[in-house]
Structures are given as structure tokens and as C-alpha cells.
Amino acid sequence: MRLRKQLCPACNKEKIWVNILKATVKSEGIYKCIKCGLKGMIPIPSDSLAQGLYESIAHDFDTVKAEMASRSIDYYHSLINRYVSKEPQEMKLLDIGAGLGYYSNAFGHLGMQVTYLDGDPISVAFAEKYQKSISTFYYGSAEDYLSSSQTTYDVIFCRHFIEHAFLPNHMITFMLSKLKPDGIIVLETDNNDSSEVLMHPDSYVYWRNVYLEDYDVSDLKRLLKLKVTAISKRNTHWWAFNLRNIEQLVINNSGRVLLKKDYYLGDSYLWPNIGDYKNKVYDEMDNMTQNYIEYIGKTGEGGGMLVLFTHK
């Protein structure tokens, strides 16, 4: 995709991309919008790279994951209830990028009528086999579904998916077009302002290898300064937002933000699937690193972000 001369999908300003990091082998570099600070990989590589990405995570049904999802969904439900005054049985929910379906299924357990949507065949097959509280399955691209379906929803749940969209602004517009007038969208993505992932021993090694391989950056100071780790070619993360430009993205595409917050790796409700991982490595950290990670979890620099929004 040729995006260099395209509007920034967060702030809608034109031709304001500056290259901040060059790739080692192929032509995809990392660019930054000088108006809003959105960072992105330009041009976005062929989506064939996503093939097989999730093969390693879909195996047997995991009761621990299901319990964690159930606890998370109780928390999401309490948030949703602040803005949507309906019983779960009266709510239709669309889960975009629903993956293995643990969250969809937990919403279904509450009584909601859940539509599962994902473009990865292995994930869809897994969810259809195991997640029996989901009402409807859709296998295909979010854009195709959102532009063809006539159904509207009380809740659209879009967890860690917007960074994979070629055009995040179109996704926001599409989602709002499928949202009931009194409905709510739950959007989450990585927080690019966070340095947390680089201070965490395991995730540091992971990201160091990504940037060493794809961009020839092995210098931690440089990575901390560039703040690009929400972008990852191997995970098909094309865009990196922070709390400011994610709000701009919503506002500029006719949405109204109701709540925005960051959260840190291993948050017991919002990022529990790496909870064990956090505990495992926590013992290996020195006090100063532990304190730092707790600190950034409280200062808008947590690794993840949650935004609730509705129609303008």
C-alpha cells in the first residue's frame, strides 16, 4: 500500500510523514506524523505476512485462559454498564479480531448475543469448536463484514486489533456505522508512549531481537528515544498510538471519547494473559526495575491503552 502521500489516519493532516527509522532489508521504514505523533510502517507490507501467525497459539481449550477471560469480562461489563443501561440478555455485542474466542464466549456466558469476527482461519476453527456461548461466527476481514452487514450493536469490542488495520480511520467510521445510537465501543491497543516493554527482562529480549533483525537497532537508548515498539512487522502491527492521538483518531472520525486510560503489562483485568509471565520474571528483577515498572504503570506509560467511545 502506498501511504506516503496519504492523510494521517489519526489527525487527517496531509503529507506530514517523516522517516524516523529505516528498515535493514526491505523498503518498509517507520514514519512519524509531525502533527500528532502517530507512527506507522510505510508502505504496509502485503498482508500475506499474517498467514500462520497464530498457528502456535491455537491448541487445546485452556481452562485457565477461560477463567481469566471471565474475570476480565466481568470488569468490562461493569465499565459498559456505566454507559449502556440494558440487561446483558438485551445486548448485541460484536467482537472484532476475536481470536481464539475466550472473550466472546465469556460475554456470551453473561447472556449477551455475541457475533465473533476474525480473519484467521485457525483461530476461527478453534473458536467454533470450543466456544459454545457465541451466537454467530464470521470468518473474513473486518472491513468486508462491516461494509456488508446490516446489523447494529449495543457494544463493539475491539481489543488489540486497530494496530493491524491498514486504515484505522476507516475502521473507526465503519464501527460507528454499526453502533446503535446509545451503544459503546471498547477499543484497546498498545501504548506507544510506554517504555515498559523495554524494561521488562523477557519482553526486552523479544523487542530487542525484533529491532535488531528488522532495523539494525541494538541500542536500548535509541529504542527508548524513538518510541516505536508498538510497531512490529512480524506481528503485523502497522500503527503505534498514544493516549493523545488515539483520542484524535476517534474525534476526527465522528466519535466522542467517554473514557481513556493506560494499563500495564499483567494488569489483572485488562492484560491477565501475561500475569504468570510477569510473576515469573518479577523474581528475577532487581528492586529498582520492579519499582520502575510499577511507577510507569501509574503515569500514563503503561504498555496498553483502553478507550471507550460512542457517537459524537
Site for Zn ion (CB under 5 A): how many residues?
A: 7
Give whole-number Cα distances, 43 to 5, 32, 102, 207, in Å.
Answer: 11, 13, 33, 21
Across-strand partners of 240?
Answer: 39
Across-strand partners of 39?
Answer: 32, 240
CB-wise, 12 or 289, nearer to Zn ion?
A: 12
Q: Does 36 bind Zn ion (CB under 5 A)?
A: yes
CB-wise, 33 or 117, nearer to Zn ion?
A: 33
CB-wise, 21 or 36, nearer to Zn ion?
A: 36
Residues whose CB falls within 8 Å of the CB of residue 259, separated by 6 or more in sequence, listed in order: 79, 306, 307, 308
Nearest distance from C-beta of residue 249 to Zn ion, angstroms: 9
Residue with C-alpha cell 454467530? 136
| Rounded Cα distance, 239 and 219, in Å | 22
Burial code (b: 16+ CB inside 10 Å, e: under 16) for 81-109 equals eeebebebeebbbbbbbbbbbbbbbbbbb
Nearest distance from C-beta of residue 259 to Zn ion, angstroms: 22
Q: Which stretch binds Zn ion (CB under 5 A): 7-15, 218-226, 283-291, 301-309?
A: 7-15
* Bond preceding residue 43 cis, omega within 30 of 0: yes
Q: Does 167 bind Zn ion (CB under 5 A)?
A: no
List the x/- string, 179-198, binding to Zn ion by CB under 5 A: --------------------
Q: Does 8 bind Zn ion (CB under 5 A)?
A: yes
Among residues 3, 10, 73, 100, the one that binds Zn ion under rule CB under 5 A: 10
Q: Which stretch binds Zn ion (CB under 5 A): 4-12, 53-61, 90-98, 263-271?
A: 4-12
Binding site for Zn ion (CB under 5 A): 8, 10-11, 33, 35-36, 38
